Amino acid sequence: MNAFKLPAAPVSVFIALALSFQSGIAGDAFFSKDGRTVTIALCNARSGLLQVDIASGKITEAPLPQELKDECIESVARGGDGEALFLAKDAVWVWTPGAATPVKRVYSTAPVVGAADLFVVTQSGTPLTDCLFVSGNEAADASSAGTFYGRKPGSKGKAFVSVFCRRVGNATGGVFSDDGRLFFLSDGDVWEGGIQTDDDDAGLERLGTLVGARIAPLAISNTDEANGGGQWVHHIAPAGNWIYALLRGRHMATIVRTPMPARPLYAPSSDDFPTVKAQLEAMAQSLTKTEILIEDLDDTFGFCATEIGGRPRVFYCTRTDAEGKGPGLMLWEGTGKARAIGHFSAD
């Protein structure tokens, strides 16, 4: 049984801009396991939780309770049974289409303030199976995007506890691949690692320790009066042999994919941390083989990616030239240009 079905310019300015782009303005999304639907969380300019049918472009709205009307849906993640777990009003909620009570509040995100980047371990048989994670801080005026906090199913007392993160100022955008590999973002680049758990962690009031290394330095950084060309990795989606990534800057975006390493460079199971040579080689291979899939995009949101039968599907929402219509629901399937399978309303 799935646990979540229970009811239960100046440098300072540059950093602030980078963090605002990484935390996002419009939410995120995920593909269903069969690739037939996309679930999208919306925030700010639009709000709500939607499911898009890929074949028809039909949009279905989640029947959110009145207390979530016009609320920002900060993040959404696919649960072990395909349900949509999402963040709103300082809590984790679950949407299970077709259930008697389709939308339920599951847990508070306390002590995390402004939690974002929800992700969950869906791989069975691990110490962290069904564990929920978010990114954030315990202070509203924190100067960084925060690091990971986790909550194990059935845990009592303090709900979310920190994941110890040494010498990494922020860890966000976490996502597990289908085979349990953890990828995440720090300072606009892609990292891989894992969460090491020990018997001493409970006494230290932490869930574990983040172990990892930067594998793909994809952030596009420059400096001038406006920093007009800077883009940072905003969301990632591991699928097949690739890590698909949305880079975003101010009113611009690019979608790329970089090869997934054959094995983790650094993880809790590693004998030792990687040598300088090993890490340079990993990053060099990533940069050499990274492919630009879609570029020169305007404001872009709702990004997600999957592979079905070895064929990629990349979904995103962005402005189009369609007159009288809102942002397009765009789909790229491995060749040619992305096509619109539908549009939001122009309102």
pLDDT of residue 4: 46
Task: Delimit the domains of the chain by residue range.
Answer: 3-343
pLDDT at 223: 86
Pick the CATH number of 3-343 from 3.30.365.10, 2.120.10.60, 1.20.120.160, 3.40.50.1370: 2.120.10.60
> Quick one: pLDDT at residue 204?
63
| Segment-wise mean pLDDT, segments of 10 residues, the chain, 347 residues | 41 35 55 97 87 97 94 93 95 94 94 92 86 90 82 79 88 92 96 87 78 96 82 96 95 95 91 93 97 95 96 95 90 96 89
3-class secondary structure for the chain?
Answer: CCHHHCCCCCHHHHHHHHHHHHHCCCCCEEECCCCCEEEEEECCCCCEEEEEECCCCCEEECCCCHHHCCCCCCEEEECCCCCEEEEECCEEEEECCCCCCCEEEEEECCCCEEEEEEEECCCCCCCCCCCEEEEEECCCCCCCCCEEEEECCCCCCCCCEEEECCCCCCCEEEEECCCCCEEEEECCEEEEEEEECCHHHCCCCEEEEEEEEEEECCCECCCCCCCCCCEEEEEEEEECCEEEEEEEECCEEEEEEEECCCCCCCCCCCCCCCCHHHHHHHHHHHHHHCEEEEEEECCEEEEEEEEECCEEEEEEEECCCCCCCCCEEEEECCCCCCEEEEECCCC
The pLDDT score that the predictor gives to residue 157 is 63
Q: Which residue has the tokens 């999208």?
A: 40
Amino acid at 9: A
Q: Which residues pair with 182 in a beta bridge?
A: 176, 193
